[in-house]
Structure 1
Amino acid sequence: MSVIAEENVRGGSVFKEINADDEDSQPTEIESLCMNCYQNGMTRILLTKIPFFKEIIVSSFTCPNCSWSNTEIQSAGRIQDQGITYTLNVKSKQDMNREVVKADSATTRIPELDFEIPPYTQKGSLSTIEGLLDRAVAGLEQDQPLRNETAPEVAVKISEFIDKLKKLKEGESGFTLVIDDPSGNSFVENPFAPQKDEALSVCNYTRTPQQDAQLGIKAEDEEEEEKPINDIDSMRNEVLTFNTNCPECNAPASTNMKLVQIPHFKEVIIMATNCDDCGHRTNEVKSGGATEELGTKITLHLTDVSDMSRDLLKSETCSILIPELEFELGMAAVGGKFTTLEGLLKDIKDLIVSKNPFTCGDSSTSDRTEKLKLFGQKIDKIMTGDMDVHIVLDDPAGNSYLQNIYAPDPDPEMTTEKYTRTFEQNEDLGLNDMKTEGYQK
């Protein structure tokens, strides 16, 4: 780097465009140690400039003793102010010859194959699109002999995937190549420069704090201090994300949480978890406030199919009754939900009919299965408005809600009753043993 600084002081530049006739553009050779056989090999370093891009350092090592070789590139400039994403629609064999600079911090994706090369799994390279595919194929084929012995089924699937990559390389079908580099130092050639390339789109974006930390620009502990958890006003306008594990496959996942104000009711906390590994999704609603002094019993007379679109908040402590069907669902059976009345009835049907373990296997009987099937048909009639019933939401904690479509006026088909909880209900809620005053010695 001192040589670079010296040339810049003299007003020159060591970064020159590649020219076979220019002696100054020839690579510098340095004897260095081979990390494969630990004998001396030769490293060739070339400081060059890519047209319409920037300066890079290309280094290539070869060992005459063991024939091991290694090539990589490094950006000669600083990390850019913004990250960059290149999206190229590869349609012809000519596109396969486009030059590509892939930094080690870049992620390479082919969406049609659901194929991704994560960052920092390969060294930076100066190649073509065909070269990228060759490198991916070589990496997948490297351990195939071992897989054929230990996991033949996996080896067959990988072989099939390798064939798909080779077909893309031969130009049998078009595909999309996406290179996403938060450092901003990757590049895909535009052969029509300085004119616009219709097949290539370039998008700059602002890095996230996590990406800054990966690039070593900013340590994770130097990120902005988290907002205090009691700062409710700031939490209302943002979605909080925290790490968790998937309840189905136990893989690492993320849960999103947000405070939502329900009109004419109160604030609730909506939590949603999505698992990228198994595709499992779950959502849960919890009350944003304390347990009410009185319980709440909401009774709705269903008179029209439009009632199915009423918003409904069912807390974990709420039980559901349908007197006409002699049906009662206890608290926590379907968890806390913020949905519509139709959505709640669908969940009830799935729980009782579709997901009931007593409808299949050795536990099932024809009589029980027929009764549950008949119950499901009655739920369908309720959702289509062909059956006149009452829906009762009984929540001793007072944290459930059913939309009043006439609000702020009273709803003629809905009644809301406040009542004093019994000792047993307080016991179920854990309130009898809860001490909130005078607990400090």
Structure 2
Amino acid sequence: MEAPKSADPIYLNLSADDPDLGTTEIESICMNCYKTGVTRLLLTKIPFYKEVVIMSFTCNDCGYQNNEIQSGSEIKEKGIKIKLTIDDVKDLNRRVCKTDYSALRIEELDFEIPPKSQKGEITTIEGIIDRVVNGLSQDQEKRKLEHPEAAEQISQFMQKLEELKEVKKPFTIVLDDISGDAYIENLCAPHSDPNMHVSHYNRNKEQDHMLGIFSRAEIDDETEVKNKADQDENNEKLKPIPEDAWPLEELHGEVLRFPTNCPECSAPCDTNMKLTTIPHFKDVVIMATVCDRCGNRTNEVKSGGGIEDQGVKIEVKITSRDDFSRDVLKSETCHLAIRELDVDVGPSALGGRFTTVEGILTAMRDQLSENSAIFDDSSEKDSTDRLHQFFVEFDKILDGKREITMILDDPTGNSYVQALSDDGKSDPNLRIIRYHRSFEQNEELGLNDMKVEGYEQDSS
């Protein structure tokens, strides 16, 4: 098949799980000399991260080369903000996945790279600084002749950027990505990184539009939507359900099935949903999706109620094999930690799960093992040795040879660990602490700006 010779969009239906997938070459226009060059596309999967498309362009006429990375999977539900403090030269070697929508800011220099100003790439902290310096140095000689004052200011700023690589004093980098696909390597893995704070947030309407996400009401004509709203049962707009119109207790024990698309290959499949009650706790919704096309299986657990007035911190001591059989409900907002190993996984790592202590520990071990494979070929030896020793200790836990304390910290209060006592309360190995959420926790949950009274009176 002859490669296209125009700049028209090319749509590829690829999957990283395809064993026959290799590098795809297409002819495209060089943006430097406007002659024909070759773009090579490779769809690959980064463990514990996502599918990405790596693109490399080469022009044989002028020698121009360009490399970039783009997401190869669906857009995340939330944006991500990573705040990293650089206080050592080794921090400059941290690997960074930066997308087209990433905004990067250096606090101490009051310098920001806005989103959509650079293409996505896999690089390092030092590589980001070098790219900024190289960009500022372009046409610097011409500026010295035409605008000497501006050229001098740029030279001074470039000097400050070069001094950052010496790390004479700590500085802070903030990576904000509305697509939720940005990533910075954790040098302390599998332990939590004291120099890095990761938070997730809900996008606003303008950010959704930047990603190309629009609601049906925004796409369709408003008049047509209003005329069809009462007739179209499949309209996406949710309407309030009157009280007693749909008794919740009638759904207990019933398995509901509804059509959806596979999150991996987008093929049509079915999702099974069941409402069940956890004793001494609350109603939860369990959802399971199986794709017959690619074999992907997903399991999710959602709370059947809203956010509790207080957060909950649950500490459970694992001292025997009996503790492995405790039921565990971990919500999507729950942080999971093991005190003795000084390891902490964020809420997005394991998602929402309803399993046992043994099941949650096994899933935790599997995901940390996948995470250790990121850039494993370029990791330092001490990091590799530290991870190997960590997995040795973790395997002792799974074999029941080491006692630990597992901590679940959920600001929404929707997580649960089963007590082994008859009354569900007096368990010496189980400690439950209720606490008031901080302003930052409410902000991350979107509660600070939530209005629950008088909202119907607001003007649109």
TM-score range relative to shorter protein: 0.3 to 0.5
Normalization by structure 1: what TM-score? 0.47
TM-score (norm 2): 0.45
Q: Which has the higher contact order (CA 8 A, sep 6+)?
A: 2
